[in-house]
């Protein structure tokens, strides 16, 4: 049996889970399911443990999220085979093509298990059994897709029809040939699908040999493979990342693997999966899949509930109190409080659209911004000044840089920092401070074993994040538009 390479697709912004999920930090990087601290991305990898022939994962993500992905893999002691960086989103067919090309370029022909980073699967053991049941068929040239056994006549999912009724066993049966894919149906049609016993929901998860999917991609959408081959041929290594060449990848058609291959191939087969799956497409969906208390509430963070029923109450910072309320979603973040009826949670995407059109920063980013060296939080700001809280990880350092329009005052409140200013160095400990005048070439490093926390006060006529000249950067960042620190 070939080795099994998980291919984890980390794209997507998940705006229906705003205000937690935003473009700068989408839902797959948050701990949303279960009682632990693992994020959806981490759970996607961890639930695979125990599968036969399991190899290190291949992750595909947006360039802007590369350090988040790398750090979250490090936290669970997983060293990826590679982290491929997409310069622009081009849907799942190009992502699968890139994965297959990269896997075969390493001189192997493994099984590829295509997974989304933002799914919830409550029964990990059943999921592994179902994957194992499909490996022999994939080894023999079938393109296996995992169809979710439907629990209701949902109109928000696409459906897959099998050529024969689905078995009702434990999920260890052989895949069934696919008759057709069906787009999201109306309610009456969905009810007919469930009554027939031949339909599953389309999960977007697949299992096939690299050479098999690559051959079908070549046959059905050669332009996708050509563009991806050029993007890989001209890629560039950046630490543990492989950055696909922008111009070549931009020429790739924007198309899903379902449309490009699965709806046309004669090799497709569906394997029913009943393992408590959800794509967490809304706050109401998250409430449905989460563990509820005796009153039907899901409580996360600093929350007090008295007499509340069937609510999702979540606090990231401040205390949230639910008193005698029903059927609400309340989500508190560092800059937004969402209060919505559960039945209208799907409408949040429209609110995000309004915010984007108005240019509101809350539509895309949190106050906390992540960098490879740590993160910073916007605290407060005024005319010609702003205050940030900065945390630098042990052994990390900011880039050597200079600002044209602002001066900075750093006050260390935890740990010990080494501060370089115009070639000279000083050690700055807790309750000590240092001043960075405008035009000074400077850098801060953390030589210790604990995080360094500092308060930064900026002052000047322009405080935009693009006011930077970077001279050295240990993380090899070569962003087209310079990013701070």
Its pTM stands at 0.87
**CATH architecture of structural domain 368-472:** Sandwich (2.60)
**Which residues lie closer than 8 Å to 185 by C-beta, 6 or more apart?**
155, 159, 193
The whole-number pLDDT of residue 482 equals 42
In Å, how far are 57, 207, 228, 402 from 103, measured between CA atoms?
A: 11, 14, 13, 41
Domain 4-278 has CATH 3.90.550.10: yes
In which residue ranges of the chain is CATH 2.60.120.10 found? Answer: 368-472
- Separate counts of helices (H) and strands (E) for the chain: 11, 30
> pLDDT of 81-138, one tens digit each?
999 999 988 999 999 999 999 999 888 899 999 999 999 999 999 999 999 999 999 9
Mean of the per-residue pLDDT values of the chain: 92
Tell me if 285 sits within 8 A of 291, measured CB to CB: no
415 vs 241 pLDDT, higher one: 415
In which residue ranges of the chain is CATH 3.90.550.10 found? Answer: 4-278
Q: What is the mean pLDDT of residues 455-481?
A: 82
> pLDDT of 313-354, one tens digit each?
999 999 999 999 999 999 999 899 999 999 998 899 999 999
Token pair 């990231």 in the structure block, residue: 316
- Among residues of the chain, what percentage have pLDDT more than 70? 96
């Amino acid at each position: 049996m070939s080795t099994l390479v998980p291919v984890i697709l980390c794209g997507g912004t998940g705006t229906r889970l705003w205000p937690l999920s935003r473009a700068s930090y989408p839902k797959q990087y948050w701990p949303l399911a279960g009682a632990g601290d693992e994020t959806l991305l981490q759970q996607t990898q961890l639930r695979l443990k125990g599968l036969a022939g399991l190899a290190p994962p291949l992750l595909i993500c947006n360039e802007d999220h590369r350090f988040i992905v790398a750090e979250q893999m490090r936290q669970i002691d997983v060293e990826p085979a590679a982290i491929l960086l997409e310069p622009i989103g081009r849907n799942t067919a190009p992502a699968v093509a890139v994965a297959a090309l990269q896997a075969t370029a390493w001189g192997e022909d493994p099984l590829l298990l295509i997974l989304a980073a933002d799914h919830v699967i409550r029964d990990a053991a059943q999921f592994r059994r179902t994957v194992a049941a499909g490996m022999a068929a994939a080894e023999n040239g079938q393109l296996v897709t995992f169809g979710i056994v439907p629990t209701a006549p949902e109109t928000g999912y696409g459906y897959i029809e099998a050529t024969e009724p689905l078995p009702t066993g434990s999920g260890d049966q052989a895949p069934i040939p696919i008759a057709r894919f069906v787009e999201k149906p109306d309610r009456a049609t969905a009810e007919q699908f469930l009554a027939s016993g031949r339909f599953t929901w389309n999960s977007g998860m697949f299992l096939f040999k690299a050479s098999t999917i690559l051959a079908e991609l070549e046959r059905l959408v050669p332009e996708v493979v050509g563009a991806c081959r050029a993007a890989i041929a001209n890629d560039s290594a950046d630490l543990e990342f492989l950055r696909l060449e922008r111009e070549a990848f931009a020429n790739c058609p924007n198309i899903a693997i379902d449309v490009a291959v699965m709806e046309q191939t004669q090799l497709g087969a569906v394997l029913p999966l009943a393992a408590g799956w959800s794509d967490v497409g809304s706050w109401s969906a998250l409430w449905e899949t989460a563990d509820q208390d005796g009153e039907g509430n899901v409580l996360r963070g600093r929350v007090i509930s008295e007499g509340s029923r069937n609510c999702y109450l979540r606090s990231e910072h401040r205390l949230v109190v639910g008193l005698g309320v029903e059927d609400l979603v309340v989500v508190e973040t560092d800059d937004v409080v969402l209060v919505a009826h559960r039945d209208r949670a799907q409408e949040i995407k429209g609110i995000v659209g309004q915010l984007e059109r108005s240019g509101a920063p809350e539509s895309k980013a949190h106050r906390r911004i992540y960098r490879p060296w740590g993160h910073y939080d916007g605290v407060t700001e005024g005319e010609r000044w702003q205050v940030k809280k900065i945390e630098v990880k042990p052994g990390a350092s900011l880039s050597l840089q200079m600002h044209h329009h602002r001066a900075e005052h750093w006050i260390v409140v935890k740990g010990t920092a080494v501060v370089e200013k115009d070639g000279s160095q000083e050690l700055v400990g807790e309750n000590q401070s240092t001043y960075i005048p405008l035009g000074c070439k400077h850098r801060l490093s953390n030589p210790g074993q604990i995080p360094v926390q500092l308060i930064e006060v900026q002052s000047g006529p322009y405080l935009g994040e693009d006011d930077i000249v970077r001279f050295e950067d240990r993380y090899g960042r070569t962003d087209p538009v310079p990013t701070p620190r």
